């Protein structure tokens, strides 16, 4: 009889605990990768049309999401499309390796004469075939004449 009383007191507590665990588990956020169609990159620094000092390293920053392993390649091109500098970086943020959103930044050094027109390009290549998953670009001028 004593054992039955103990069971009757423990059973409601056990059921309450089971319900609480079920609710916590059901309410736990899940991480879902961003679909490939939602891949995006944006250059936030420098702005389109900026005049940059070619003697100093060029600070380039941006955002991205849905990129394979958060990979971003940044290029500095001259007006003819020649690559003056290129370097890879990765998104920083939660779950960027799973398609989450994040930020990136990099500094690149170039050697060009003042007044050179150019472009900064950021893109993310597909791991499957190297095609561009997402990209952005801004037109800039390197120094003034």
**Residue-wise pLDDT tens digits, 20-30:** 444 434 443 34
> Do 75 and 107 belong together in one domain?
yes
> Do 69 and 125 belong together in one domain?
yes
* pTM exceeds 0.75 for this model: no
Mean pLDDT of the 62-84 span = 94
> Do 59 and 97 belong together in one domain?
yes
> Do 78 and 135 belong together in one domain?
yes
> Do 2 and 70 belong together in one domain?
no
Domain count, the chain: 2
> Do 71 and 113 belong together in one domain?
yes
> Do 62 and 125 belong together in one domain?
yes
Q: Which range of residues forms the domain containing residue 15?
A: 1-30
The C-alpha atoms of residue 51 and residue 143 are separated, in whole angstroms, by 6
């Amino acid at each position: 009889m004593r054992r039955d009383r103990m069971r009757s007191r423990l059973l409601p507590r056990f059921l309450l605990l089971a319900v609480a665990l079920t609710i916590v588990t059901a309410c736990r956020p899940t991480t879902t990768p961003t679909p490939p169609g939602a891949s995006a990159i944006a250059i936030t620094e420098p702005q389109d049309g900026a005049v940059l000092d070619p003697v100093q390293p060029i600070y380039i920053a941006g955002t991205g999401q849905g990129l394979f392993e958060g990979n971003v390649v940044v290029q500095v091109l001259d007006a003819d499309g020649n690559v003056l500098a290129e370097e890879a970086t990765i998104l920083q943020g939660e779950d960027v390796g799973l398609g989450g959103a994040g930020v990136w930044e990099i500094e690149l050094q170039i050697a060009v004469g003042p007044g050179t027109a150019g472009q900064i390009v950021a893109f993310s290549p597909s791991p499957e075939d190297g095609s561009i998953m997402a990209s952005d670009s801004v037109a800039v001028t390197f120094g003034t004449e």
